[in-house]
Amino acid sequence: MSVWVTVGAMKRVLSYCSRRSLWQQRSFLVTSSVKEDISYSSQQLAHIWSTRQQTCLDKSLVSSVRFYSQGRIHSDDLDDKEQHPSSSLSQSSLPAEIQSDEKASRQTRRWSPFIDHLESCASPSDVLDLTCQYAPTFRQVSNCLTQMWSTTKKMAEEQRRYELQLMSEHPAFDKLLQLAMKGAGHMSNEDVAFSLLCMVNLGVPQHSRVVQTFLRACQENLNDFDEKALSVLASGLEHMENCPNVLALKDGMRLVVEARLPRIKNVKALQTMMRIMGKNVPLDLKQKLERKALSMKDQFSLPNTHYMISTMAVMDFYSKPLLEVCSKTFQENLHGTPFNKLYVVLQSCRQLHYRDIDLFTGISDYVASTIDIWTKKQVILFLSVFENLTFCPAALMEAYAEKVITSPDALTLQDLLCVLKVYSNLNYDLQHQRQQFLDSLSTALDSYLPKMSGFELLKVVYHMCLLGHFPSAPLELLLQSSTLEKFNTTVPRFLPNQEKMFQTVNLCLRLECPLLPQPLTLPPSVPGDPVPSRSSVNLNLSEGLRRVLGDQADTTLQEMVTVENFYLIDAVITKPLQNQTSATSAGGECSPAESSQRIAVLCEPHSGFCYGTSTPRGPLAVKIRHLKILGYDPVLVRLGHDHSLSLAEQLLILILILFFQVTEQELQSASEEFLRERVFPEHQQAEQLGP
């Protein structure tokens, strides 16, 4: 008798046999002890991929590949109290889109009263009590774990710790995990991924049987995971320590994403895939993702641009073309953008070391113009992230200064510390409002002085000194012996940053001589020995200076000069003044300090300046201020790899423009003889007079 079997029936039979075989293998591995760790590398997984492609019965099954690893499983008790470092109570959150999708999908699953009761539970223990009254199905186990995790996310840290301790001691917790382990093969892919994520965040040990069971369940069905399930799985793996099963899953996910990439037509799906990849993505795959994203840039909506910038930060992938596309769209639609999106974009730019002055200026101007709609905390967070970006948001700082002047009492101590740090480090000149602003801050600080710790007081005084403001109350309190003794009780006595702060305060008091009710100085033993870290001579700078100075006998060059045993100057050029040269030749006498000009050449990195400007930041601004008091004329030379001019050319232009009144038009057509004549006119006059 002939038996006819359709191709569809054959596929279903083979698929069932394949799933049955793999499930039996996984069950055996969970309940037995394996003596060897066997894991597949990415190369081996790629080989499996290509081998199975050749044995597929139909082209539609080409991408159906199983990834699994036979790693060692530790037989830890499920109620073990010992937390694995990687399974700490990390409050990882999924993207907002996935959270909303999850909420919607869960709401459609009201197949029993159990779900209605579950949603009213306010703690993990409430959920476990409910499982004692109702026997949850395999599918409802995932809902239980999700509700347990959701309730803990809303708790304070101390309460969360207490509730999780009660959860681990609850007799129903072990039963729930046993039921989850038995039902892993019967859950949907989405439920498996969510269950794994929730268990990790609830502190279930990573090497326990239940977690390893779910890892293998994910491996077996990885090719059937959609974008949402893959994203949830990636969020769970992000907080797990590497082990054979985790590594196999990560490698498998990369292969799945790379295989699906050409078929992606939706921007949101692409962004989900990019987030799944995480930071440890091979460069060639990042470049493929970049090309795919750029090919879809015309489809980017405004939410897509927000999400793409943060996605690149998650991947730690700097793509200038992609960032520029998103930045431009973002700038054009700033109005009405909520705080969280603005803040996330700025934070992402910081993580990626991406700087766009137009984007930053646009956000600063927008926040400043709508400052009344933002809370005090939001404005301070904006100021703080701008300071971290080394960008000076002039409009926002001006607008916020007016707020402080109007109501200084509204600032908390932490607000004051943040505001002082931002305004001093960015060295923003408030001009006519400066004194009012500083006096308002001093008034607000006075009420908090008794509550401050020694380090907080030191930070307040240090930032005030950077601003050139010396209120007597915090200074007197800091310099009291009782306050200084608090630093002596710590080991080490001073942290490096504390010691540098004390040294800066000491120099400000000594060099700037502020008007105080009584003279204040630090004891010599407090600041320590302020010896600057000496670096090697910059050969390019040295060569450029010698070429500019030529063989002038009356001009001296000193390199790596230490001033006040604290400030390091890269080079000092000492040059006689023209009028004093004439007076000396006529028989007059002048002191060396009065008869010469000392030019202090400072080579500073870009981090020493506010981004996009020539404004020096706080510590560099104080250094320049002090050098001027000591009789130097500072000349700043920026160091950087992206300059088209050489170091010597920058130096020559700065000296000529700042000190010898050479215009930029003259510089464009000037010869070397002309420039030398302008720098050293006295020698030119001597040559004209002759012997």
Higher pLDDT, 644 or 275: 275
Is the alpha carbon torsion for 112, 118, 120, 126 positive or negative?
Answer: positive
Residue 177 has pLDDT above 90, yes or no: yes
Largest alpha-carbon pair distance within the chain?
Answer: 132
- Domain annotation covers residue 340: yes
Region of 143 (left: φ > 0; alpha: ψ -120 to 50; beta: rest) is: alpha
> What is the CB neighbour count within 10 angstroms for residue 449?
16
Residue 62 has pLDDT above 90, yes or no: no
Q: What percent of the chain has pLDDT over 70?
A: 70
The segment with the largest mean pLDDT, out of 225-234, 252-261, 360-369, 663-672, is 360-369
pLDDT at 629: 93
Cβ-contact 620, 606 below 8 angstroms: no
Looking up tokens 């080579």 gives 603
Higher pLDDT, 25 or 271: 271
Residue 112 has pLDDT above 70, yes or no: no
Peptide bond into 492 cis (omega under 30): yes
Burial 277-297 (b: 16+ CB within 10 A, else e): bbeebeeebbebbbeebeeeb
**413 CA to centre of own chain:** 24
Cβ-contact 626, 511 below 8 angstroms: yes
672-679 and 681-689 helices cross at what angle (nearest 10)?
Answer: 100
Q: Is 195 in the same domain as 310?
A: no
Residue 107 has pLDDT above 50, yes or no: no
pLDDT at 653: 59
Stretch 455-476: mean pLDDT: 92
pLDDT band at residue 666 under the 50/70/90 scheme:
low
pLDDT at 378: 95
Q: Is 309 in the same domain as 326?
A: yes
355, 373, 74, 339: which is closest to 210 by C-alpha? 74
Stretch 63-87: mean pLDDT: 34
Residue 580 has pLDDT above 70, yes or no: no
- Domain annotation covers residue 259: yes
Lookup: tokens for 380? 């301070």
Stretch 642-667: mean pLDDT: 54
The pLDDT mean for the chain works out to: 76
Using only the alpha carbons of the chain, give its radius of gyration: 34
Least confident of 27-41, 110-124, 524-538: 27-41
Cβ-contact 40, 251 below 8 angstroms: yes
- Domain annotation covers residue 419: no
Q: Cα torsion at 280, 286, 289, 290 (round to 10°)?
A: 130
pLDDT band at residue 681 under the 50/70/90 scheme:
low
Cβ-contact 628, 647 below 8 angstroms: no
pLDDT at 273: 82
CA distance 227 to 256: 11
Q: What percent of the chain has pLDDT over 90?
A: 36
Domains identified in the chain, total number: 3
Q: Is 202 in the same domain as 301?
A: no
CA distance 48 to 255: 11
Q: Is 111 in the same domain as 254?
A: yes
pLDDT band at residue 655 under the 50/70/90 scheme:
low
pLDDT at 544: 73
Q: Residue 36 — φ and ψ, nearest 5°?
A: -125, 145
Lookup: tokens for 276? 């799944």
Instruction: Find residue 569's DSSP bridge partners.
Output: 561
Stretch 3-21: mean pLDDT: 41
pLDDT at 116: 83
pLDDT at 21: 35
- Domain annotation covers residue 487: no
pLDDT at 489: 65
23, 56, 22, 44: which is closest to 251 by C-alpha? 44
Q: Is 284 in the same domain as 255?
A: no
Cβ-contact 349, 309 below 8 angstroms: yes
CA distance 220 to 211: 14
pLDDT at 65: 32
Higher pLDDT, 638 or 573: 573
Helix (H/G/I), strand (E/B), else coil: 688: helix
Stretch 621-633: mean pLDDT: 93
Cβ-contact 398, 592 below 8 angstroms: no
Helix (H/G/I), strand (E/B), else coil: 471: coil
399, 387, 472: which is closest to 430 by C-alpha? 399
Instruction: For the chain, report the end-to-end CA distance as a whole number of angstroms.
Output: 129
pLDDT at 369: 94
Q: Residue 435 — φ and ψ, nearest 5°?
A: -65, -40
539-549 and 647-659 helices cross at what angle (nearest 10)?
Answer: 50
> What is the CB neighbour count within 10 angstroms for residue 373?
9
CA distance 7 to 14: 11
Burial 607-645 (b: 16+ CB within 10 A, else e): ebbbbeeebbbbebbbbbbbbeeeebbbbbbbbeeeeee
Residue 72 has pLDDT above 50, yes or no: no
Stretch 614-623: mean pLDDT: 92
Stretch 603-632: mean pLDDT: 90
- Domain annotation covers residue 348: yes
The 10s digit of each residue's pLDDT in 483-512 is: 888 776 664 556 768 888 988 998 999 998
Stretch 586-598: mean pLDDT: 61
pLDDT at 532: 59
pLDDT at 673: 53
Least confident of 2-11, 419-428, 621-630, 657-666: 2-11
pLDDT at 659: 54
Q: Residue 253 sits in which domain range?
A: 16-263
Q: Is 289 in the same domain as 148?
A: no
Higher pLDDT, 362 or 540: 362
Cβ-contact 323, 352 below 8 angstroms: yes
Q: Is 210 in the same domain as 64?
A: yes
The segment with the largest mean pLDDT, out of 187-201, 474-488, 549-563, 591-605, is 187-201
Helix (H/G/I), strand (E/B), else coil: 637: strand
The 10s digit of each residue's pLDDT in 372-411 is: 999 999 999 999 999 999 999 999 999 999 999 999 989 9
pLDDT at 527: 63
The 10s digit of each residue's pLDDT in 299-355 is: 898 889 999 999 999 888 999 999 999 999 999 999 989 999 999 999 999 999 999
Q: Which of 299, 325, 354 is the last residue of a domain?
A: 354
- Domain annotation covers residue 524: no
pLDDT at 125: 92
Q: Which of 263, 282, 310 is the last residue of a domain?
A: 263
- Domain annotation covers residue 482: no
Q: Is 98 in the same domain as 61?
A: yes
Least confident of 185-199, 431-445, 450-464, 533-547: 533-547
CA distance 458 to 248: 51
- Domain annotation covers residue 6: no
pLDDT band at residue 676 under the 50/70/90 scheme:
low
Based on the number of CB atoms within 10 Å of its own CB, is 489 exposed (0-12), middle (13-18) or buried (19 or more)? exposed
Lookup: tokens for 417? 């510390």
Q: Is 225 in the same domain as 112?
A: yes
CA distance 448 to 474: 10
pLDDT at 648: 55
Is the alpha carbon torsion for 184, 189, 195, 201 positive or negative?
Answer: positive
Cβ-contact 202, 170 below 8 angstroms: no
Q: Which of 236, 263, 290 is the last residue of a domain?
A: 263
Q: Is 323 in the same domain as 205?
A: no
Cβ-contact 257, 273 below 8 angstroms: yes
Q: Residue 572 — φ and ψ, nearest 5°?
A: -120, 120
Based on the number of CB atoms within 10 Å of its own CB, is 452 exposed (0-12), middle (13-18) or buried (19 or more)? buried
Q: Is 103 in the same domain as 202?
A: yes
Q: Is 214 in the same domain as 301?
A: no
Stretch 444-455: mean pLDDT: 90
Higher pLDDT, 136 or 643: 136
CA distance 617 to 332: 30
